[in-house]
Structure 1
Amino acid sequence: MRTRTSIRVVGCHAEGEIGDVIIGGVLPPAGRTMMEKMITMERDHDHIRRMLICEPRGSVARHVNLLLPSTREDCAAGAIIMEPTEYPPMSGSNTICVATVLLETGMVPMQEPETRFKLDMPGGVIEVRAECSAGKCLSITFRNAPAFAERLDADIEVEGLGTIKADIAYGGMFYAIVDAPALGFSVTPDEARDLAVVGEKVRRAAREQLDVVHPQFDNVRGVSIVQFAMPFQGPGNVTRNTCIVSPGRSDRSPTGTGTSARMAVLQARGQMKEGEVLIHESIIGSRFTGKILELTEVAGRKAIVPQITGRAWITGEHNYYLDPTDPYPQGYVLSDTWGTSTSVTQ
């Protein structure tokens, strides 16, 4: 065997969404903060993401997290999230995978019945509380970075749909949240392909027509994900949704940042209050529990501090090699499997 690259990856999924974790073979990118490291990774080392997510080694249904030493003394570790078309500053399912891998592989000492630690993520410091028993993480609860409603009832012109309404909110990336029944959907597995096609149309239109920028991170701009929301069933009750991850597929989990964004919108509309809970269900029936911990502000904007609880499972371990003669060192994408386009960037 010959190889010029050897990358060690622990496989993991959170409520159905794959969030594999790189634990060896990739050196830390330059930067004083995790956000700066994320920017460096995207600018100078994107071949790692493409190698592991594109075929023949990966798939559009996969996210990969690069585990790093923290840039802060108060955090146990850091991580950079790599998705099929972007590097988001935060992701709930990926955070749950990272925390589970850290604990179940022994990189962070597990204490039963509860282990607490902090993660250094590009979008902010994330406080983690893990429920543990017999060497297993039974659940991960994390305090997310603040989420806020950017615009309510924004008009978007979408090809084939005309003018539709969307709530634009940040929960770790920007979401366009649309009413699923108003667009003819019930968010069921048999609708997955049609949801992906329509969701990508809405995302592209939202990115073109709405220039939204995070007030603290000028590199975080534009709608990344479209959330099809079923009607809110009230605090403490199960509400269904699906989030269309670019370039066009349903997130298999209920989406932690999507749950955070939805709670920010519900709070802005007076439908949720501090201390109340949203049980979010995905298109495959898996669930995250969201809670509004407190109200806050982000650069003068009203915001919430969300808490998300979910579960993850390690699926295996793999060493990825790159033979010097391999003609596809950064992989390839085809439209029959890569969502609705062959784009590898937003």
Structure 2
Amino acid sequence: MTATHGEHPAPGGDAFTPVRTTDYHTAGEPFRIVTGGLPPVPGDTVAERCATAIGPGGSGTAPRRGALDDVRRLLVQEPRGHAGMYGGFVVPPDDDGAHFGVLFWHKDGYSTACGHGTMALGAWAVDSGLVAAPHDGDAQVRIDVPSGRVTATVHRAEGRTTGVTFRNVPARVTARKVPVATSFGVAEVDLAHAGACYASVAARDLGLGTGREALPALVRAGQEIRAALAAHPGTWHPDGPLLSGVYGVILYEELPDTPFGPHQRNVTVFGDGQIDRSPCGSGTSARLALLAEDGRLGAHEDLLHESVAGTVFTGRVLGYAGSGEPAEGLVTEVTGTVHRTGEHVFVRDPHDVLGTGFAL
């Protein structure tokens, strides 16, 4: 089962195929799953389709304009969406080993990884009947994303979904204590790749907390750090520009450890200053790799990871990928809650002067 395709005109045309979505939130972060109304997306793999959607240059921002991006803008911009909206286009998988593929998108373009979105997709696949699930027990949903193949294990009890565990592509630490000058002072930044590149910095080193009152300052700091690291070699991925460059900046705060391991709260800033309402799924994988390298997270220990909204992910390290060499990266899992918020059929009135919407 993949998204249906329809005829879409160039921007400004008079016809627009209705777009069908099912919406979820994962620990507070929205995820809009497009199940119908997509134009064809050229490419033989999910990574190729993502590169096509982004266009020349390989960056996740400034996407190619056209029929596919008309749909993205329609769904993420006001009045149908908002600056914090996130979603995905369901596309064919790379091969029969996965149930389906997905292209992740947000206000400013596309991303190569999205842990909270993967968790929502797992719940949707079970809720929709695409993947069979037991009344009590677990169901695995395999999904091809631009950074590789990931798995969402959907936990069921008494016929309902009680949580989802996301197993990410391997996470690798690529740079430590990189000095970055910001308007709040010099930050020491750690870099890790976990499907996308994340920069981690202790908020207190910039004189900041991680509460809601600090959000404007955290966004500014995150944007400054991301811009400063644009050419740093630690942000580049061996598979090329699609997976390279800082995607998100994680500003974290240490909280008292639990009996099971570390406890942190974070604000993840991505795109052009968006704030992840969840603790950030792929970003949690990046934090796990850093904590494991520091010796703060061992076997059978969990990271309790809080968001600015007060929601929680639980993360753990399962071991090294592949043959067990550190260079191959760490296998991580992140568990959280997912809830459906609605189903929609979006249209564009040809007489609507706002077209696919606007952003403030």
What is the one-letter code of the residue matched to 1:276? Answer: E
What is the one-letter code of the residue matched to 2:347? Answer: Y
Q: Deviations over 1:265-290 (max 9, x none)?
A: 11222222344321111111101111
* Counterpart position of 1:198: 221
* Counterpart position of 2:27: 15
2:102 is aligned with 1:90 = no
Change (3 A) 1:74 1:313: same
- Report which stretch shifted further, 311-320 or 121-130: 121-130
2:285 is aligned with 1:260 = yes
* Counterpart position of 1:145: 169
2:247 is aligned with 1:247 = no
Q: Deviations over 1:182-220 (max 9, x none)?
A: 112221122222222222222222225566211124322
What is the one-letter code of the residue matched to 1:25? Answer: G
Gapped regions of structure 1 (runs ≥ 5): 335-346
2:327 is aligned with 1:304 = no
* Counterpart position of 2:355: 329
SS in 1 for 2:208: coil
In structure 2, what is the Cα distance between the partners aligned to 1:278 and 1:37?
34
- Report which stretch shifted further, 178-187 or 198-207: 198-207
Residue 76 of structure 1, CA deviation: 1.3
Residue 28 of structure 1, CA deviation: 4.3
Q: 1:269 aligns with which of 269, 286, 294?
A: 294
Residue 108 of structure 1, CA deviation: 2.1
Aligned residues of 2:255 and 2:264 also touching (Cα < 8 A): yes
* Counterpart position of 1:34: 46
Q: 1:165 aligns with which of 168, 177, 188?
A: 188
SS in 2 for 1:80: strand
Change (3 A) 1:263 1:232: farther
Aligned residues of 2:249 and 2:268 also touching (Cα < 8 A): yes
Aligned residues of 2:34 and 2:89 also touching (Cα < 8 A): yes
Q: 1:223 aligns with which of 221, 246, 266?
A: 246
Q: What is the TM-score of this pair, normalised by structure 1?
A: 0.89
What is the one-letter code of the residue matched to 1:32? Answer: D
SS in 2 for 1:230: strand
Percent of pairs identical after alignment? 29
What is the one-letter code of the residue matched to 2:331? Answer: V
* Counterpart position of 1:341: none
Aligned residues of 1:250 and 1:283 also touching (Cα < 8 A): no
Aligned residues of 1:322 and 1:329 also touching (Cα < 8 A): yes
Q: 1:74 aligns with which of 97, 121, 128?
A: 97
What is the one-letter code of the residue matched to 1:325? Answer: H
SS in 2 for 1:301: helix
What is the one-letter code of the residue matched to 1:31? Answer: G
In structure 2, what is the Cα distance between the partners aligned to 1:125 and 1:80?
13
In structure 2, what is the Cα distance between the partners aligned to 1:215 and 1:299?
17
Q: Which has the higher contact order (CA 8 A, sep 6+)?
A: 1
Aligned residues of 1:156 and 1:209 also touching (Cα < 8 A): no
Aligned residues of 1:151 and 1:167 also touching (Cα < 8 A): yes
Residue 5 of structure 1, CA deviation: 2.4
2:143 is aligned with 1:119 = yes
In structure 2, what is the Cα distance between the partners aligned to 1:157 and 1:314?
41
SS in 2 for 1:31: coil
2:124 is aligned with 1:101 = yes
Residue 29 of structure 1, CA deviation: 1.0
Residue 162 of structure 1, CA deviation: 4.1
SS in 1 for 2:187: strand
What is the one-letter code of the residue matched to 1:309? Answer: T
What is the one-letter code of the residue matched to 2:224? Answer: K
Aligned residues of 2:31 and 2:88 also touching (Cα < 8 A): yes
Aligned residues of 1:6 and 1:322 also touching (Cα < 8 A): yes
Aligned residues of 1:81 and 1:90 also touching (Cα < 8 A): yes
Q: What is the TM-score of this pair, normalised by structure 2?
A: 0.86
What is the one-letter code of the residue matched to 2:85? Answer: R
Residue 226 of structure 1, CA deviation: 0.9
Aligned residues of 2:223 and 2:273 also touching (Cα < 8 A): yes
In structure 2, what is the Cα distance between the partners aligned to 1:232 and 1:304?
24
What is the one-letter code of the residue matched to 1:89? Answer: T
Aligned residues of 1:213 and 1:220 also touching (Cα < 8 A): yes
* Counterpart position of 1:155: 179
Aligned residues of 1:88 and 1:172 also touching (Cα < 8 A): no
Q: Provide the alpha-carbon RMSD of the alignment.
A: 2.2
